[in-house]
Amino acid sequence: MSEMVLYEKHGPVAVLTINNPPVNVFSPGVPEGIKAGLERGNADPEVKAFVLIGGGRSFIAGADVKTFNLPREQQPDMRGTIAKLEANPKPVVAAMHGNALGGGLEVAMGCHYRVASRALKVGQPEVKLGVIPGAGGTQRLPRVIPLQEALTMIVTGNPISAEKAHEFGLIDELIEGDLLEGAVQFAQRAGESGELPKIRDRDVKLDIPAHMFFNVATERVRKEARGLIAPLLCLEAVKGAVELPFDEGLQREGELFLQAQRSDQSRGLRHIFFAEREAAKINGVDRSVKPREIRSAGVLGAGTMGGGIAMNFANAGIPVTIYEANAENLERGLATIRRNYENTAKKGRLTLEQVEERMALIRGTLSFEDLADADYVIEAVFEDMNVKREVFGRLDAVCKPGAILASNTSTLDVNEIARATSRPEQVLGMHFFSPANVMKLLEIVRPDKVDDQTLVTSVQLAKTLGKVGVVVGVCDGFVGNRMINQYGREAQQMVEEGASPRQVDDAMHALGLPMGPFEMSDMAGLDIGYAIRQRQAQEAGREKSDTFMDRIVEAGRKGQKTGAGVYSYANGRTPEVDPVAEQIIQDSRAEKGVEPRELTQEEITKRLVYQLVNEGAKILEEGIAQRASDIDVIYVYGYGFPASRGGPMHYAETVGLENVLADIKEFHEQHGDTWKPAPLLERLVREGKTFRDALSAQPSAVS
Ligand code: NAI
């Protein structure tokens, strides 16, 4: 018998325990084990019923992600296993705890009965990977629970609690004490009754005519899908459950599954799914290095970023001390945090009691010494090297030995910051994105001297804080902002040539980004870019920078915060095309003698995205990013690049690197040096390779 499924007799009940730690995913070996267990119990006259249960932490948590990209024939036979369970001559009871998601729930629905412990989560999350449930989920779930609820679960991918599932009749009994014991008793009774209820034999219950139900549902799903096809295919499959006999519905589900699986969107979503997991691996660091436990934290600066960072700790239940130099700013910072929590409570996402619990974990102080005991300190003071150096020197003197000191700097050299301390091994960058309590991305910046345990601890901390941490090397702007600078400059260049900001932003909407470059800079504030351009102009020996963007800022328009920037914001945050800005743009072109020309959406899209790709290739070659997929994770979680496109580097591969390079070369000829092709890109195309083949150097070796 397969070791993946253990067989044990409890009186007249055969217990099949799935033994595929940690969460019993449906790997090769599991289906064979279940089938063998059923055969053994069926052949034993003493056995009257079966219990199928997961060993350890969970029931079958889902399909095995390692098999996701295999052709259907090579995947573990889930449909066959379910058919065997359902047709078994002796009753089978699924006993569930932990998670029963995706294939896990489908297997449970193939059993005759389902019992569960209260902490169980059940759901069909397949849509989140751009596919649909493929082993009968779309046919069985609507036959057990109300159609509307089933559709919502399948289309959104969101799980429900055991209690809800019990209320809906998906779970026959909630077991209070020991799950196995309760399940065996239940199975014994089922064995005596001899009944073999099958979900496939039930009808979908519907109070209104099906076409009316689906008319409304289609409109809703289409609207919420925002261009994604998997939710619509889910809907189609569920329709099959209502309109077709069971076996035909199952067949239809299979066809729709393949359609979804072969789509570029699903490829993109699966790419990001794997990329996110891969991002946790740190090149050159042994897997045996264990993270240190972080029991308390410190944050310096209660400004925009410091407040949000402190909230992350409080949300994770870690007490945090915020130090501020200025009493008024401290008070304002703490008040902002409280207001943020209260707003969340107003939306019903926190109770007032939880607001107080979180606030109680945050302590403000004006005394540096209060940071002495913190295990992990994150600095978010002004972006000025002298201030940072001074602060890190003081931190080093006050904080206990071994405490990790991190900077949230977005542009400064973290190596230099580390040198201001006597413990550069425990100093690194933790680059949060604004708003820090919301954005999931965290660039973990790896300076030369940082030790492995500090890195591993920081990657683990990112996870604890609910972030997606990506390790990057030291350079100006790290990965995300270094790339966005090229993208932003290209956006401005295209407006100089004749495109309107609206056209440029719309091209990115069409790609699926929630915001285009000008909407994004209006939100972030135009003064930051202005200051950088002026500094760069002076460094280059020019008197000043005088682009249309500079003129917009000089007209007092700094973006959303001043009510106007490239757009105007009479209605809060909705950008409106503004004649004043339009005029500034036209005047700027006229003075420079530019004859405006039409740019197509295709050109705009290529020039924006290929700037990202070209710079991404340079970053990869320099070892600033460990792998191309890390860059994709950064763009999806930090900059709103649609996950269904898999991030800019994956997108380039779907277009074909040779096609991307050909366009880049053409842009190079037309527009000069900002389009110099990345040598890595040229090499990969020459050798017929992909970004995945481009193994980069260690980030720490470069900086
Ligand atoms: P901010 O100006 O809103 O807040 C800085 C706070 O630090 C102020 O409250 C100030 O009183 C306090 N402060 C200044 N010197 C101090 C000192 N010596 N000791 C203690 N407190 C001191 O600035 P913001 O936007 O929060 O930025 C902070 C850091 O985060 C900067 O390094 C910035 O580059 C970085 N960052 C900012 C992002 C943003 O979108 N605002 C995004 C990512 C990083």
What pLDDT was estimated at residue 700?
39
Q: Which residues of 568-592 are buried (b: 16+ CB within 10 A; e: fewer)?
A: bbeeeeebeebeebeebbeebbeee
Three-class SS string for 97-109? Answer: CCEEECHHHHHHH
Condensed to tens digits (0 to 9), the pLDDT of residues 362-394 reads 999 999 999 999 999 999 999 999 999 999 999
Q: How confident is the model at residue 703 (pLDDT cuts 50, 70, 90)?
A: very low
Residue corresponding to tokens 């751009």: 130
In the block, residue with structure tokens 């076996």: 247
- Asked whether 698 and 678 are in contact (CB, 8 A), the reply is no
Residue 264, pLDDT above cutoff 60: yes
In the prediction, which pLDDT does 698 show? 39
The residues lining ligand 1, judged by C-beta closer than 6 Å to any ligand atom, are 300-306, 323-326, 329, 380-383, 387, 391, 408-410, 431-432, 434
625 confidence band (pLDDT: 50, 70, 90): very high
Q: What is the pLDDT of residue 156?
A: 97
pLDDT, tens only, 585-601: 999 999 999 999 999 99
- Alpha carbon distance 629, 637 (integer Å): 12
Quickly count helices (H) and strands (E) in the chain.
29, 19
Among 86, 126, 253, 324, the one annotated catalytic:
126
**Residue whose CB lies within 8 A of the most ligand 1 atoms, among 382, 398, 411, for a mutation test:** 382
E strands present in 380-483:
404-407, 427-432, 441-446, 468-473
Per-residue pLDDT tens over the stretch 156-208: 999 999 999 999 999 999 999 999 999 999 999 999 998 999 999 999 988 89
C-alpha 63/C-alpha 82 separation (Å) is 13
- Please return the burial class of 47, using the count of CB atoms within 10 Å of its CB with bins 0-12, 13-18 and 19+: buried
The one-letter code for the residue type at 391 is V
Given the CA of residue 306, which atom of ligand 1 is nearest to it? 26
Q: How confident is the model at residue 695 (pLDDT cuts 50, 70, 90)?
A: low
For residue 89, say if its preceding peptide bond is cis, omega within 30 degrees of 0: no
Instruction: Report residue 9 CA to chain centroid gap.
Output: 43
Q: Which domains does the chain have, with CATH numbers?
A: 5-261 (3.90.226.10), 297-472 (3.40.50.720), 499-591 (1.10.1040.50), 601-697 (1.10.1040.50)
Question: Dihedral, CA atoms, 106, 112, 114, 115, nearest 10 degrees?
Answer: -150
| pLDDT for the residue numbered 75 | 87
Nearest CA to ligand 1 atom 4: 303
Mean pLDDT of 54-63: 95
The kind and range of the H/E element at 266 are helix 264-278
Percentage of the residues of the chain whose pLDDT score is greater than 70:
98
Ligand 1 center–CA 282 separation, angstroms: 28
Query: What mean pLDDT, rounded, does the chain reach?
Result: 95
Question: Residues 299, 378: contact at Cβ < 8 Å?
Answer: yes
User: Looking up tokens 């990965």, which residue turns up?
Assistant: 479
Q: Which residues contact 273 (CB under 8 A, 6 or more apart)?
A: 65, 129
Predicted local distance difference test score (pLDDT) of residue 98:
97
> Is residue 658 among the annotated active site residues?
no
What pLDDT does 2 receive? Answer: 60
For the cut 70, the answer to whether the pLDDT of residue 674 exceeds it is yes
**Distance of alpha carbon 516 from alpha carbon 576, whole angstroms:** 13
- pLDDT of 102: 96
**126 catalytically annotated:** yes
Q: How far is CA 228 from the centre of its chain?
A: 16
pLDDT at 563 over 50: yes
For range 101-109, the mean pLDDT: 97
Q: What number is the ipTM of this complex?
A: 0.95
- CA of 328 from ligand 1 middle (Å) equals 15
- Write the pLDDT tens digit of every residue in 420-475: 999 999 999 999 999 999 999 999 999 999 999 999 999 999 999 999 999 999 99
CA distance 468 to 656: 28
Pocket test residue of 305, 334, 430 for ligand 1, highest count of atoms within 8 A of CB? 305
Distance of CA 596 to the CA centre of its chain: 40
pLDDT of residue 697: 41
